[in-house]
Amino acid sequence: MLFKVFPAGELIRLFEILAADRIVGPVKKGEDQHGRSLYDFDVVHDFTELRLDYGQTIHSAKNWFLPYQEDLCTFTFEDGGSGDWHKEVDYGVYAPLVLFGLHPCDINALNKLDKVLLGGQYPNPFYGEKRANMFIVGHSCSPQPFCFCKSMGTDSAIRGFDLFLTRMDDLYFAEILSPRAFHLLEQIDCHDPDSREHHRYMEIMEAKESLYVAHVDTSDLTKILDLEFQASVWQEWGRRCFSCGTCAQVCPTCYCYGVAEQVDMDFTHARKEKMLYSCNLLDFASVAGGHNFRPESHTRLKYRYYHKHRGFVEAFEESLCVGCGRCGQACLAHITVPEVIASVRASKE
């Protein structure tokens, strides 16, 4: 990896050069009832809108690479359906996208999604096209009280970005992973870091460690989840769950979806629509004939945890959860990953 350092004032120049493409980054969306700022990822029209000081966004950035709703294909039927028919597929990628200001958790989320959606026998071209046209500028974070990325090993990103910036007093410490990022930095005032700056960078990394409050003990977790499959704590959590899908919607790695076919009223067009789904929803496991494999709230909630913390680990030797804490923050019933996992570990059954 290459490292560079540049004065913080140069960031606007970096932004302006990248602004030839569409930039999506953290922006302030409003304030909650206590006056706390609320952030989300959105198109950044002006450098002053970019809020790199955000703690965490409400939603992940996934709408930009795994949209909540997407047409998989559309059909055209000629002569009122009695003639020929065509199928059109549109991956929805018309221009490059710059994701500016992703924290390590969200970069690691993309790395994990890549494994599932691009690594298998049937790569997802909708996701792949978007990923291939993406330039990622990561940004250092200040761990929030609900962040547990440290426990999930996702507190630092070592791949999956073009450029990663760490704020270092009035400087930026830049990690470079792509030729494009290297050439980008050539256009601004930057230099190779000296040993004093190396040292300062390591100090900052060390200071970050002490800020973590939330933790998840992941040791032997896959086995413990197997052993505690019938534990009564799951039913407790089920009673506390709305089955509303909020956790999955704000999650940067929940990729489950449903597909529905829709015929237009004029019978000359139809489309196959994909919608991000959640295993917590009552309709998730209902199948033809009206049977529902998971009619109870607690079994649905449990399987969400099993997918994240057991199934994915067995398949990829890492958890699907990146510890961003968004699900717990968004959950009206305060169901948080650290609490659920701790309760299962403490189960004495």
Partner 1 sequence: MTTKKTFLGVPVAKPKVAFFELSSCEGCQLQLLNNEATLLDFLSLVEIVRFREGRKEAGDDYEIAFVEGSITRDDEEELLREIRRRAKILVALGSCACFGGVNQLKNRFNDLEWVKKEVYGSFPIESQEVKPLSAVIKVDLEIYGCPIKKEEVERIVTALVLGEQVHHPQYPVCMECKARENICLFELGEPCLGPVTRAGCDAWCPSNRLGCWGCRGPAPEANLALLQIIMAERGISQERMIDRLECFGGFGAFVAEVKGKKEEPR
Residues that bind partner 1 (CB under 8 A): 29-30, 32-33, 38, 40, 58-59, 63, 68-69, 77, 80-82, 85, 239-246, 249-250, 262-267, 275-276, 278, 281-283, 286, 295, 297, 330, 332-333
Pairing between strand 22-31 and 37-43? antiparallel
Residue type, 137: V
Report the 10 Å Cβ neighbour count for 252: 28
The owner of tokens 């020929």 is: 84
Pairing of strands 257-263, 97-102: unpaired
The separation between the first and the last C-alpha atoms of the chain, rounded to the nearest angstrom, is: 48
Residue 199 — φ and ψ, nearest 5°? -65, -45
How near is the Cβ of 82 to partner 1 at its closest, in Å? 4
Whole-number minimum distance, CB 81 to partner 1, in Å? 5
- Smallest gap from Cβ 76 to partner 1, in A, equals 12
Shortest Cβ 68–partner 1 spacing (Å) = 4
CB of 29 to partner 1, least distance (A): 6
Largest pairwise CA distance in the chain? 75
How many CA atoms are closer than 13 Å to the CA of 204, on its beta-carbon side? 18
How far apart (Å, rounded) are the C-alpha atoms in residues 105 and 152? 9
- Write phi, then psi, for 6 (nearest 5 degrees): -145, 155
Alpha-carbon distance of 264 to 88, in angstroms, equals: 15
CB 107, CB 134: distance < 8 Å: no
- Rg of the chain on CA atoms, in Å: 22
CB of 242 to partner 1, least distance (A): 4
Q: Give me the least distance between CB of 103 and partner 1, in Å please.
A: 18
Dihedral of CA 86/89/92/93: which sign? negative
- C-alpha to C-alpha distances, 206 to 144, 198, 212, nearest whole angstrom: 16, 12, 11
70 or 155: CB nearest partner 1? 70
Q: Provide the edge-to-edge strand list for the sheet that holds 163-168.
A: 2-7, 171-176, 163-168, 134-139, 97-102, 22-31, 37-43
How near is the Cβ of 2 to partner 1 at its closest, in Å? 35
What is the closest distance, in whole angstroms, from the C-beta atom of residue 159 to partner 1 in the complex?
Answer: 28
| DSSP 8-state assignment for residue 156 | S
Residue whose structure tokens are 């597929």? 89
DSSP state, residue 270: E
